[in-house]
Structure 1
Amino acid sequence: MLGTRLRNLRKPLVAAALAGAMALPAQAETLADAMVAAYRHSALLEQNRAVLRAADEDAATALAALRPILQWVGEYTYQNIEGFDANSASLSLQAQMTLYDWGRNAIAIDIAKESVLATRAALVGVEQDVLLGAVEAYLNVRSATEQVELQSNSVRVIGQEQQAATDRFEVGEITQTDVSQADAALAEARAELATAQGDLQIARENYRALTGKFPGTLAPPPPTPKLPANLVAAREIGQRTHPLIQQAKRETAVSELGVAAAAAERNPELTGTAGISTTRSKSISGGGVSTTTDVGTIGLNLSQTIYSGGRLPSAHRKAMAQRDATRSSLLHTARQVDQAVGNAWAGIDVARAQIGAIDEQIVAARQAYNGVREESLLGARTTLDVLDAEQSVLEAMANKITAEANLQLAHYQLLSAMGLLTVENLKLGIPTYDPTAYYNAVQDAPFTSRQGESLDRVLRAIGKQ
């Protein structure tokens, strides 16, 4: 009877661990659901979209500098001179416009446009980070859930073994030492279960922070994304498409233009002014005579800085230093992307090799466990030998859970390193933020009229009005 009980201690751990995954409800959350939720929930994306809109307005501001400035000025003056009162009131309309600045404003517009493109690339980089965070959170929850199931099953099985050891001790087949070893193993299994449950709760909280809700039942991950033909091809894709490289290229262009802008500060500037004004004056003395004067003015102003105390040359040298810095930053970024692609590719190879080796380890460990368990019934093995053999199976299965999650994550890390981890490239099938809509609405620096109405529609579409 006792031998039969030992033989039926438990079913294989693999079958027990997979039993829950086979019974998923029809509405299980998918990895795509997690990424969509993270994309919609991310405050970081909202922040960087606002940063982009501010850059769009910089482009509008640069364009507005080419247009005339029209303003009105009202003035009232009261005077008391040796006991006599006098007052005057004037109203004027003034206009001023830069007629020619030898390229200053044109360079400023180009700088603003390049800055917009750099900020758009930065937004894509944030999108990639958000989606990769969602993938990692999703896989962590699934892995933690499987670890809890595995540890729960271990507690159940070791509890049965502990009870069997107690029964054998009572009939004199083993010693108290064997029972104590089983007690210690059961306590250790319960501690491991508590750790796994804590890890699961942490993973759930992280999932909620990224997606805005706690995870339900998570479906198995989809097939891993298709890889490029080889590592060289992956590196080439990364150099072409990664948003950090695109951002660094635009920032380098901005710094190049900055050198030209610093040099242009030494050029002359021609401005035109025009104005009309009317002034009404009244003096209490002399019968309170009132006079009205209407004046129209027009003028040209040509100016150039001859000596700035060294400020303009210093600004020019500073711009050149900044240009050199952004060039080096571009090179450094390209190298980092190249390294990230290589690391992710290696991670895929390592995870695949680990899974293959762990599968062999599980098979061998289970065979060893079955043999040790049978030998223990014949008195050739101790209870500790049985527990150690079972722990080997458990550790191998836990390692496989981690390796499978690492394999999935490495594929998405590779997509991110190549600059392809975006909603559009993944075809998640949801409306995405259009980074050009706001720019198109403000690029002409609209004030009112149909352009202003178009801007209002854009603001309503993105929920900012």
Structure 2
Amino acid sequence: MGTTRIRRKLATGIAAVTMALAVPAASWADTLADVMADAYKNSGLLEQNRALLRAADEDVATSLSALRPVLAWAGDVTRSFARTSSSSTFYTPIERETTTVSMGLSAEILLYDGGSSKIQLNAAKESVLSTRQTLVSVEQNVLLQAVDAYTNMQAQSETVALRQNNVRVISEELRAAKDRFDVGEVTRTDVAQAEARLAQARASLAQAQGDYQAAREYFIAAVGRQPGRLTAPPAAVTPAKSVEQAKALALKNHPDILKAQHDVAVADMAVEIARASMSPTVSLTGSYGIEETFDNEAFSKGGSVGVEVSGPIYMGGRLAAAYRKAAAQRDAARAALRLTSISVAQDASTAYASLQVARAARDAGERQVRFATIAFRGVREEATLGARTTLDVLNAEQELLDAQATLITARGNEYLASYALLANMGYLTADHLNLKVTRYDPAAYYNQVKNAPAMLSEQGRKLDRVLRGISKE
């Protein structure tokens, strides 16, 4: 919802408005940095993708385990029953029962598999790097949605105040029209026009209050808490000086491009893995066991050591098909990288243009409000002298109201466009913005699991405590 909604707003220039009068003002002040920090801390989407990153980290440990010895044990208790008869016993039935207990250990270590296991380990590491970039992309979307929610609320607060003032002004105009009607200066038509405009103003105020409720829910969903009193945002950032700079930075830093590059590396390694699967596998094996038969006091123990060599001869064409499939997927990953580069460059160019348009709209809006204010004051003064009608005053007031509403929208769009450009260049992150939050270190968990610690080791027990702490959050 977040990214699509924001792009639609930037394209159309329509910002949500209003703040509900029935909602009391919060006791704390919210800055834009506060809102983004809380969105970062409270985002369930970030938590979900952090968990997915930890799962990718464990794939590295799983791949590493294939290069290590495998030690296993097996135990067996067997109770055998038999009833036999033969000529030697004159066909007298003889009951026999035996109990056998065996215990054994087996070990195996891979000596050679054409490099497949090592390549799979490297591919798992590249997948981790790819997943980290996915997390960065999600972080940018979360923070951009928080900016959208903040500017939305800021615009709505100003718009409600504007609608309130509009109702007051038209109420005054209505009273003035009635007073002039009583002394015969205007007709009943002037009074009716003021009555109609007042009804329209009240309807607009009610609409603004309804819109605020939806915007409030959007803020809560984006930030993870109730909104406070929104302070005036700082000056809009200027992330790039030219469209060429914006595109160059986007192609260098955008997480979607970095992810696509790692995906290409994974696809290249998948081809090597498919080729290596056609090679023979050499393993060193060993076993040791003890067997005890309690009924006849038989006892044996012993072991073996050997080298096992295996490999495919003919598998119906399955290995060749797997190789061709991996090659096709590699080509698709490379094409995806090219398409992502084109898309990111285009988005950066569009975002830069949107920011320039938003700034021009804000400048024009400020001039429009300034001159509309002068015109409204002049028309109202002329009306007191009888040179203007009530309708002229109402029209001038409406033009001023429209100009003020347009300016509120333009200011919100400028802030949103500037941060959207930051996101398109890969800079809308907690690190780059220096948000006051405890930042998630994507390498911390990886460094603990990359050596595949066993569950009973000290490192394994430490990891268990870490995971229990995460599950309680």
TM-score, length-scaled by structure 2: 0.89
* Equivalent residue for 1:449, pick from 457, 460, 470: 457
Residue 56 (structure 2) pairs with residue 55 (structure 1): yes
1:135 alignment partner, SS class = helix
How many Å separate the matches in 1 of 2:228 and 2:403? 27
Counterpart of 1:294 in structure 2 is 301
Call closer, same or farther: CA 1:442–1:25 in 2, change over 3 Å: closer
Counterpart of 2:74 in structure 1 is 73
How many Å separate the matches in 2 of 1:459 and 1:330? 35
How many Å separate the matches in 2 of 1:380 and 1:189? 25
Counterpart of 2:310 in structure 1 is 303
What is the correspondence of 1:303-342 to structure 2 with a 5 Å cutoff?
303-342=310-349
Counterpart of 1:285 in structure 2 is none
1:226 alignment partner, SS class = coil
* Equivalent residue for 1:218, pick from 221, 226, 230: 230
Letter in 1 for 2:459: Q
- The answer to whether the Cα contact below 8 Å between 1:347 and 1:410 also exists between their aligned partners in 2 is yes
- The answer to whether the Cα contact below 8 Å between 2:63 and 2:117 also exists between their aligned partners in 1 is yes
Letter in 2 for 1:46: E
Letter in 1 for 2:165: N
Letter in 1 for 2:371: A
Gaps of 5+ in 1: 1-16, 18-23, 283-287
Alpha-carbon distance, 1:428 to partner: 1.4
Alpha-carbon distance, 1:337 to partner: 1.2
How many Å separate the matches in 2 of 1:225 and 1:358? 19
How many Å separate the matches in 1 of 2:106 and 2:58? 26
Alpha-carbon distance, 1:454 to partner: 4.6
Counterpart of 2:438 in structure 1 is 431
Alpha-carbon distance, 1:101 to partner: 0.8
422-431 or 444-453, which deviates more: 444-453
213-222 or 31-40, which deviates more: 213-222
- The answer to whether the Cα contact below 8 Å between 2:28 and 2:228 also exists between their aligned partners in 1 is no
* Equivalent residue for 1:236, pick from 241, 248, 251: 248
How many Å separate the matches in 1 of 2:128 and 2:399? 57
Alpha-carbon distance, 1:463 to partner: 6.3
Call closer, same or farther: CA 1:460–1:279 in 2, change over 3 Å: closer
TM-score, length-scaled by structure 1: 0.90
104-113 or 332-341, which deviates more: 332-341
- The answer to whether the Cα contact below 8 Å between 1:438 and 1:458 also exists between their aligned partners in 2 is no
Counterpart of 2:113 in structure 1 is 101
Identity of aligned residues (%): 48
Counterpart of 1:151 in structure 2 is 163
| Aligned Cα root-mean-square deviation (Å) | 1.9
1:280 alignment partner, SS class = strand
Call closer, same or farther: CA 1:437–1:214 in 2, change over 3 Å: same
Aligned positions, number: 438
How many Å separate the matches in 2 of 1:440 and 1:146? 49
Counterpart of 1:30 in structure 2 is 31
Letter in 2 for 1:29: D
* Equivalent residue for 1:359, pick from 349, 361, 366: 366
Counterpart of 1:371 in structure 2 is 378
How many Å separate the matches in 2 of 1:406 and 1:307? 65
Counterpart of 2:46 in structure 1 is 45
373-382 or 69-78, which deviates more: 373-382
Residue 291 (structure 2) pairs with residue 279 (structure 1): yes
Give CA-to-partner distance per residue, 1:348-374, whole Å, 9 cap, x none: 111111122222222222232223223
Residue 196 (structure 2) pairs with residue 180 (structure 1): no
Alpha-carbon distance, 1:87 to partner: 2.3
Call closer, same or farther: CA 1:197–1:257 in 2, change over 3 Å: same
Letter in 2 for 1:57: E
40-49 or 449-458, which deviates more: 449-458
What is the correspondence of 1:197-212 to structure 2 with a 5 Å cutoff?
197-212=209-224
How many Å separate the matches in 2 of 1:311 and 1:380? 93
How many Å separate the matches in 2 of 1:25 and 1:38? 18
Letter in 1 for 2:318: R
Give CA-to-partner distance per residue, 1:37-89, whole Å, 9 cap, x none: 00000000000000000000000000001111111111122222223222211
Call closer, same or farther: CA 1:458–1:237 in 2, change over 3 Å: farther
2:33 alignment partner, SS class = helix
1:102 alignment partner, SS class = coil
How many Å separate the matches in 1 of 2:371 and 2:214? 33
How many Å separate the matches in 1 of 2:357 and 2:235? 18
Counterpart of 1:110 in structure 2 is 122
How many Å separate the matches in 1 of 2:235 and 2:371? 28
Alpha-carbon distance, 1:427 to partner: 1.0
Gaps of 5+ in 2: 1-17, 19-24, 84-94
